[in-house]
């Protein structure tokens, strides 16, 4: 929460979260679930799904992301169709990094 307390949050869209306690809860859920889903928080009409990439020592180094217009897929489709593929590709990349 120290990091969040040092930030100033600007509402970009009507969906943008700016309450620090809600953001902290989302960060904790994201870490637990292993993915992040952003639904029109940065841009109206745009959704994004991301999974982390880790080094062999477990340190987070990057993320794999898929983003698309809301007309192309709802959040359930993103979680059910795209998320397993992103997780699989993240694992493939991690395995390549371990070689």
Condensed to tens digits (0 to 9), the pLDDT of residues 79-92 reads: 999 999 999 999 99
Q: In the chain, how many H helices and how many E strands?
A: 4, 3
- 3-state DSSP assignment of residue 12: coil
Domain count, the chain: 1
| 12-16, 53-57, 73-77: least confident range | 53-57
R_g (Cα) of the chain, nearest Å:
15
- Residues of the chain with pLDDT > 70, as a percent, come to 98
Q: What is the CATH number of the domain that holds 34?
A: 3.30.450.40
Read off the DSSP letter of residue 42.
S
pLDDT in the model for residue 57: 83
List the domain range (segments joined by +) for residue 85: 2-98
The pTM for the full model equals: 0.83
pLDDT in the model for residue 1: 57
């Amino acid at each position: 929460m120290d990091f969040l307390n040092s930030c100033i949050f600007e509402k970009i869209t009507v969906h943008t979260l700016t309450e620090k306690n809600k953001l902290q809860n989302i960060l904790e859920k994201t870490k637990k679930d292993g993915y992040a889903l952003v639904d029109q928080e940065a841009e109206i009409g745009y959704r994004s799904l991301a999974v982390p990439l880790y080094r062999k020592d477990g340190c987070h180094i990057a993320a794999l992301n898929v983003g698309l217009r809301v007309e192309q897929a709802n959040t359930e489709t993103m979680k059910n169709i795209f998320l397993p593929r992103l997780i699989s590709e993240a694992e493939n990349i991690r395995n390549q990094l371990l070689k």
